[in-house]
Structure 1
Amino acid sequence: MNYALIMAGGIGSRFWPKSRIDAPKQFLSFFEDKTLLQNTIDRIRPIIPVERIIVSTNADYVDIVKEQIPDIPLENIVGEPVAKNTAPCIAFAASFIHYRDPEATMVVLPSDHFIQNEDAFLKDLELSARIAEEKNRLVTIGITPTRPETGYGYIQYNDENTISFNGDTAYPVKTFAEKPDVQTALKFLQSGDFLWNSGMFIWRTERVLEEIKKHLPVLHHQVEILHQHLSDNDGNISRDVLHSVYHSCFSVSIDYGIMEKSEDVVVVPSHFHWSDLGSWMAIYELQKDQGDEDGNILNSQNILTVKSQNCYVSSANRKLIALVGLQGIGLIETDDAMLICKLDSSQNVKEVYDKLEERDLREYR
């Protein structure tokens, strides 16, 4: 039976000032009425009911998750007492799911991605789940690159010993590559055997727990403690035990801890349009076809432009804003803060958080 883990614990620092610690990116809407988290869960409801969807988030955000997804069982919301990256998050959720169903297959999805062509997305998930179940592989979904992107990790695959079902193919993974510089990204693009790393994973819970035991034994020890606690308490997790196991493990990503070390990973090339929404530039790129004749995206009638092109302006206020002679600029204004940046530098907005801490301006974080 298929389960899903939705990872919803980040603070979205690249989307300051709209994303704040008390209301981070995944709980906000950028394109429509629904938030990114709501869209993520609605996207998979056709194949996985909400009773089998687990949301892992910061303990401070549990109430927000319950408010935004009112039909999710409260016991399906895991409130992390401290952020320890993706490997502990996935390991503890896998243990929780495995306790419920030892034969479960687990789909792991970030909460804040943008996906178009949802039918193709679900088809790719179903193919991945079939491979995980029938071939007992660790499966990830890769995105066909369209540009030499430096903001994503990459997956290199080979075309030997492939797995095919109904004309769709999964490829053995050769290497995982960290975010490259421009020249390296260009080489990846030209080689034709690299995909973007989407951060989506599919596997049997039993198999991923075996890999954690093999490659991350310290983390696996905490998983065993959690599993014993579940067995002793009818599947319920106490806050004290969750606090203990999280604080007893180290911070490590699933990519570094497991995927880069395992010899049994395959990748399914995606058939859908995807963005990780990693910066204000990504938001602009997805909306630019709806811009004015100069490529500007303006969210208010109170914004004027003169000889300005390819700018993104989002204002929560009614004040008049005029742009003159600007190209590729992002201006994002909330009630108490304003960001002005070059869109192609918007990955660096996360550094504003550090500056706010240094200057004791935590109320703006």
Structure 2
Amino acid sequence: MTYAVIMAGGSGTRFWPKSTKALPKQFLNLFGEKTMIQETVKRLKGHIEPENVLVVTNDNYVSIVEAQLPEVRKDHIIGEPVAKNTAPCVAAAAAIMNKLDPDSVMVVLPADHQITNREAFLDILNSAVETAKSENSLVTIGIEPNRPETGYGYICYDENSELKKDGNPVYSVKNFTEKPNREKAEEFLDSGNYLWNSGMFVWKTETVLKAFKKFLPDVFKLTEKLQASDLTQEDINQFYQACPSISIDYGIMEKAETVHVVPGEFGWNDVGSWTAVHELSEKDEYGNAIGNAKISIVDSTQNLIHTESGKLVSLVGVDNVAVVETDKAILVVNLKKAQGVKEVVEELKSNPELKDFL
């Protein structure tokens, strides 16, 4: 059977002040009535039902997940006692899946991505699942690039290795590249055989466990111990405390011999900053994304306004700015430099007088 593993442990620092330590990005409704994690589970219905969804999140967020996803079994909501990147998350999920169903297929998805074309996404996902089953391969979903983006990792694939799965092309992966500089990103775009790394993976549980055994044997031993346990919170805590902090990309994907990628184009965005929220939001004729705010705008274009108080926001002669207001803080940021919000959060963490604003 196919199961979904939703990775929902992120802190969403680039979305401060809307995203906070107590309620990070994946639990916010940035684009509609449902939160991002609710949308992630919703778009799988008909392909993977909620009872076959496993959510791995921070231990502090377990109650939030239970409240937002009542259709997901409580024993399928796993609380991480400490953040150890994505490899331990996948390993823990694989141990649980293998105990539950040794023949299982895992679809590993971030909780906070936006996908606008659900049907196209599910079509690509079906091809990825079929590839994982038939090729005993680690499979990733790659996004067709439309610009030389320096904020994403890239996947280089072998153009001469094309398979067809459910009508979609599937390729062998040659290598992965972390976030490149502008010049290199332009080269990748021009080459025609590079895709953005979406961070979405599909594999048979037994296949990924074999990869852990080969490339991360210490983690694999901990996985065996976890699988043999009663899967109590204490068992999970001991597993995470003993694991190194390492990403699944670096620990497994970049080293594995049999990796395939399914290219896709389905309105994907990893929603990595307020700039992405502006891009994905409805806008007026001047490119201003207003949301529920009360506004008065004069000679201002390409702005984003998110407020909670109901106060009037007036912009005069301002372009490419985000104004985000919560009950505790106000952020004004140039949308071209929105990644810098993460630096603000780091400053707040280091200042005892400002930690309460996180």
The TM-score with structure 1 as length reference comes to 0.96
Q: Which amino acid aligns with 1:267?
A: V
Partner of 1:310: 302
1:1-365 alignment runs, 5 A limit = 1-229=1-229, 233=230, 237-287=231-281, 290-300=282-292, 302-360=294-352, 361-365=354-358
Deviation at 1:71, TM superposition (A): 1.8
Q: Any conservation in 1 of the 2:293–2:306 contact (CA below 8 Å)?
A: no
Distance, in Å, in 1 between the alignment partners of 2:333 and 2:90 is 35
Deviations 1:212-240 (A, max 9, x none): 111011111110110111xxx3xxx1121
Q: SS in structure 2 opposite 1:322?
A: strand
Deviation at 1:271, TM superposition (A): 3.3
Q: Which amino acid aligns with 2:32?
A: E
Q: Which amino acid aligns with 2:252?
A: I
Percent sequence identity over aligned pairs: 47
Deviations 1:25-46 (A, max 9, x none): 0001011110000000011121
Q: Which amino acid aligns with 1:142?
A: G
Q: Any conservation in 1 of the 2:154–2:179 contact (CA below 8 Å)?
A: yes
Unaligned runs of 5+ in 1: none
Q: Which amino acid aligns with 2:65?
A: V
Q: SS in structure 2 opposite 1:120?
A: helix
Distance, in Å, in 2 between the alignment partners of 1:15 and 1:78 is 24
Q: Which amino acid aligns with 1:304?
A: S
The TM-score with structure 2 as length reference comes to 0.98
Q: Any conservation in 1 of the 2:142–2:196 contact (CA below 8 Å)?
A: yes
Deviation at 1:51, TM superposition (A): 1.5
Q: Any conservation in 1 of the 2:293–2:305 contact (CA below 8 Å)?
A: no
Deviation at 1:299, TM superposition (A): 2.5
Deviation at 1:166, TM superposition (A): 4.1
Q: Which amino acid aligns with 2:276?
A: A
Distance, in Å, in 1 between the alignment partners of 2:166 and 2:215 is 34
Distance, in Å, in 1 between the alignment partners of 2:33 and 2:9 is 21
Q: SS in structure 1 opposite 2:188?
A: helix
Q: SS in structure 2 opposite 1:30?
A: coil
Q: SS in structure 1 opposite 2:250?
A: helix
Distance, in Å, in 1 between the alignment partners of 2:146 and 2:7 is 26
Q: Which amino acid aligns with 1:276?
A: D
Go from structure 1 to structure 2 and tell me whether the alpha carbon gap of 1:307 and 1:63 turns closer, same or farther (over 3 Å shift).
Answer: same
Q: Which amino acid aligns with 1:254?
A: I
Deviation at 1:301, TM superposition (A): 5.5
Unaligned runs of 5+ in 2: none
Q: SS in structure 2 opposite 1:44?
A: coil
Runs of 4+ in 1 over 3 A off after TM superposition: none
Deviations 1:54-105 (A, max 9, x none): 0000001111111011121111000001000000000110110011111111
Distance, in Å, in 2 between the alignment partners of 1:347 and 1:182 is 16
Deviation at 1:120, TM superposition (A): 1.2
Q: Which amino acid aligns with 2:296?
A: L
Deviation at 1:186, TM superposition (A): 1.2
Deviation at 1:302, TM superposition (A): 2.5
